[in-house]
């Protein structure tokens, strides 16, 4: 920890801050664990300088998040809170950084758009640190994707021990918050992004792959958040305040939502409203301007901070199988071949693809295709069951789809030779289980 403390001291001196910043932010209930997490030396200097306005110690003290918890950092943005949450929950806790709008085929479209120098529209163009983190040498648009900020944490030993990135295209796959375990808390400071309705069009060279971004059914998604939490679990929401009566209409243009609309939406899914804090309030904000601009201006917009709780008597919704049930469910999959869209005659014909997958008892999988297949001839990663009982894959190779999550719904068990659908929304390729590890016309390295 000596090196990390030295980094913090250097950053504090560089910005003229010092650790007394915490005293300005301190709330009466701030615990030593929260103070230590905010003071953690692994944080970036440009994050530390924002603490005076963002008041992370107060926010996390209000949140109720503690050491040892499993926490979802929903829409983590530039990972400002992901790093603090990682330090707060500690070695016995875990942080799942869930980045929406970009899983599935849209992860590939985001990467391809990135390569040709077009920054996707859902990446904020106005962060003051964007060129520190990555701009084209010609001075073009920033090329960082939202997911890159948190993916970097998985490459860092200090954070990789308890941070997992899930790049989920929430609208594409039924709006499920697909986690491998039940969580203690879901935390977000970007609730308005769940209500985005305007997305960049799919590039012409990707049309036909069913990967265009589309709006999320937020009430349905909120119900999956409820199901993913343990009884008594917390849902903490901070966002930029919109004018009274605006609801969610200002989400796209102004990046704002109305607190009353958020309360109604979340309690409507079964949560109980638990508390509200005004620690992020700014009375000078008339709520008519976009909550954007430089970091210094961005943080001075009026924000609300809400906490909801899953009632302890909420009926259990965790449909993950036991180990014995899993062995029965997966008996036809281990040591056999799962064929995607076996009726397709040509790879990538009208967006269709023929693939061969293998599931393993250690919760890893491999998926192979023709060398000419768009997603690449090989994909690898891990798999789990989410709270809805769906089998989900976490792609970790190829790099374009690293941390991309895809869930399957025609769950299992399925007999050898039977066809089934793929994704929770009923779309996707067909699958067939075929005996053995060789299938005609496939190239398996």
pLDDT in tens, 21-37: 333 334 458 999 999 99
Q: 214 burial class (0-12, 13-18, 19+ CB within 10 angstroms)?
A: middle
| DSSP-derived secondary structure letter, 133 | H
Question: Of residues 307 and 354, which shows the higher confidence score?
Answer: 307
Q: Are 76 and 148 in contact (CB under 8 A)?
A: no
pLDDT for 117 beyond 70: no
344 in any annotated domain: yes
Buried b (16+ CB within 10 A) or exposed e, 331-349: ebbeebbbbbbbebeebbe
Residues 252, 337, single domain; the answer is: no
pLDDT for 321 beyond 70: yes
Cα 333 to Cα 23, 314, 326, 341, 426: the distances in Å are 57, 34, 11, 16, 21
Give the model's confidence band at 10: pLDDT under 50 very low, under 70 low, under 90 confident, else very high.
Answer: very low
Question: Of residues 419 and 89, which shows the higher confidence score?
Answer: 89
442 in any annotated domain: no
Residues 332, 272, single domain; the answer is: no
Sign of CA dihedral 224, 228, 233, 234: negative
Give the chain's mean pLDDT. Answer: 79
Beta bridge partners of 73: 97, 187
Q: Read off the CATH number of the domain in which 427 is found.
A: 2.40.128
Beta bridge partners of 378: 368
Q: Are 239 and 190 in contact (CB under 8 A)?
A: yes
- Percent with pLDDT over 70 in the chain: 70
For 404, the enclosing helix (H) or strand (E) is strand 404-408
How far is residue 345's CA from residue 68's CA, in Å, rounded to a whole number? 51
279 in any annotated domain: yes
pLDDT value of position 3 = 37
Q: Read off the CATH number of the domain in which 29 is found.
A: 3.40.50.150
- Strands 163-168 and 404-408 turn out to be parallel
Residues 298, 330, single domain; the answer is: no
Question: Of residues 389 and 73, which shows the higher confidence score?
Answer: 73
Give me the helix-helix angle, 218-228 and 259-268, nearest 10°.
Answer: 60
Please, which residues have CB within 8 angstroms of residue 328's CB and are 6 or more apart in sequence? Answer: 413
Last residue of one domain, picked from the residues 287, 309, 331:
309
229 in any annotated domain: yes
Residues 205, 95, single domain; the answer is: yes
Tracing tokens 């594409």 back to the chain, one arrives at 172
- How open is the CA angle 289-113-239, to the nearest 5 degrees? 30
How far is residue 297's CA from residue 24's CA, in Å, rounded to a whole number? 19
How far is residue 84's CA from residue 217's CA, in Å, rounded to a whole number? 30
pLDDT value of position 336 = 83
417 in any annotated domain: yes
316 in any annotated domain: no
Among 115-124, 236-245, 381-390, the least confident range: 115-124
Q: 172 burial class (0-12, 13-18, 19+ CB within 10 angstroms)?
A: buried
Residues 212, 90, single domain; the answer is: yes
Give the model's confidence band at 368: pLDDT under 50 very low, under 70 low, under 90 confident, else very high.
Answer: confident
Question: Of residues 128 and 336, which shows the higher confidence score?
Answer: 336
- Percent with pLDDT over 90 in the chain: 45
For residues 162-181, give the mean pLDDT: 86
| DSSP-derived secondary structure letter, 423 | S
Give the model's confidence band at 133: pLDDT under 50 very low, under 70 low, under 90 confident, else very high.
Answer: very low
For residues 389-399, give the mean pLDDT: 88
Last residue of one domain, picked from the residues 269, 284, 309:
309
Residues 304, 329, single domain; the answer is: no
Residues 186, 249, single domain; the answer is: yes
Residues 39, 70, single domain; the answer is: yes
Give the model's confidence band at 20: pLDDT under 50 very low, under 70 low, under 90 confident, else very high.
Answer: very low
Residues 358, 420, single domain; the answer is: yes
Range of the domain at 410: 323-434
pLDDT value of position 428 = 58
What the block records as the tokens of 313 is 């008597």
Give the model's confidence band at 78: pLDDT under 50 very low, under 70 low, under 90 confident, else very high.
Answer: confident
pLDDT value of position 444 = 41
Cα 41 to Cα 4, 35, 57, 222: the distances in Å are 4, 12, 15, 34
Give the model's confidence band at 122: pLDDT under 50 very low, under 70 low, under 90 confident, else very high.
Answer: very low
Question: Of residues 419 and 405, which shows the higher confidence score?
Answer: 405
pLDDT value of position 127 = 45
445 in any annotated domain: no
Question: Of residues 345 and 282, which shows the higher confidence score?
Answer: 282
pLDDT value of position 370 = 66
pLDDT for 109 beyond 90: no
- Strands 337-340 and 183-188 turn out to be unpaired
pLDDT value of position 276 = 97
Beta bridge partners of 340: 355, 431
Q: Are 303 and 283 in contact (CB under 8 A)?
A: no
For 356, the enclosing helix (H) or strand (E) is strand 355-359
* Structural domain total, the chain: 2
The upper half-sphere exposure of residue 152, i.e. CA atoms within 13 Å in the direction of its Cβ, equals 17
pLDDT value of position 203 = 58
Residues 144, 65, single domain; the answer is: yes
314 in any annotated domain: no
pLDDT for 132 beyond 50: no
Q: Are 153 and 147 in contact (CB under 8 A)?
A: no
Q: Are 206 and 108 in contact (CB under 8 A)?
A: yes
For residues 59-68, give the mean pLDDT: 97
Tens digits of per-residue pLDDT, 187-222?
A: 999 999 999 988 766 656 555 555 567 889 999 999
For residues 263-270, give the mean pLDDT: 98
Residues 346, 408, single domain; the answer is: yes
Question: Of residues 181 and 127, which shows the higher confidence score?
Answer: 181
Last residue of one domain, picked from the residues 309, 343, 378:
309
pLDDT for 434 beyond 80: no
Residues 303, 328, single domain; the answer is: no
């Amino acid at each position: 920890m000596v090196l990390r403390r030295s980094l913090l001291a250097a950053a504090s001196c560089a910005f003229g801050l010092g650790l007394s910043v915490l005293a300005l932010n301190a709330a009466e209930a701030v615990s030593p664990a929260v103070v230590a997490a905010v003071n953690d030396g692994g944080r970036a200097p440009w994050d530390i300088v924002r603490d005076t306005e963002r008041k992370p110690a107060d926010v996390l003290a209000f949140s109720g998040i503690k050491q040892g918890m499993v926490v979802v950092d929903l829409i983590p943005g530039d990972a400002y809170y992901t790093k603090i949450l990682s330090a707060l929950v500690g070695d016995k806790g875990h942080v799942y950084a869930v980045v929406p709008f970009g899983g599935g085929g849209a992860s590939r479209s985001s990467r391809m758009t990135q390569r040709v120098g077009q920054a996707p529209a859902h990446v904020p163009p106005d962060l003051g640190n964007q060129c520190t983190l990555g701009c084209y040498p010609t001075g073009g648009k920033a090329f960082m994707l939202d997911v890159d900020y948190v993916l970097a944490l998985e490459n860092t030993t200090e954070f990789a021990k308890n941070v997992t990135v899930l790049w989920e295209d929430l609208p594409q796959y039924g709006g499920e918050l697909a986690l491998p375990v039940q969580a203690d808390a879901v935390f977000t400071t970007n609730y308005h992004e769940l209500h985005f309705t305007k997305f960049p069009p799919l590039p012409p060279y990707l049309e036909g792959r069913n990967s265009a971004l589309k709006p999320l059914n937020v009430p349905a998604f909120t119900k999956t958040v409820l199901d993913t939490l343990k009884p008594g679990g917390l849902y903490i929401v901070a966002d930029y305040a919109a004018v009274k009566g605006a609801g969610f209409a200002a989400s796209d243009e102004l990046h704002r939502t109305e607190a009353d609309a958020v309360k109604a939406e979340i309690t409507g899914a079964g949560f109980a409203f638990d508390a509200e804090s005004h620690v992020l309030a700014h009375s000078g904000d008339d709520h008519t301007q976009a909550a954007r601009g430089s970091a210094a201006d961005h943080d001075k917009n009026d924000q609300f901070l809400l906490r909801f709780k899953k009632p302890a008597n909420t009926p259990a919704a965790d449909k993950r199988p036991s180990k014995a049930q899993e062995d029965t469910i997966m008996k036809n999959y281990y040591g056999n071949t799962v064929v995607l869209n076996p009726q397709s005659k040509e790879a990538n014909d009208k967006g269709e693809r023929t693939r061969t997958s293998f599931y393993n008892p250690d919760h890893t999988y491999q998926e192979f295709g023709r060398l000419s297949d768009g997603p690449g001839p090989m994909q690898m990663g891990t798999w789990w069951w989410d709270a809805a009982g769906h089998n989900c894959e976490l792609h970790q190779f190829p790099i374009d789809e690293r941390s991309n999550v895809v869930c399957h719904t025609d769950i299992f068990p399925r007999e050898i030779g039977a066809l089934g659908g793929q994704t929770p929304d009923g779309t996707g390729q067909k699958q067939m289980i075929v005996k053995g590890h060789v299938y005609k016309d496939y190239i398996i390295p």
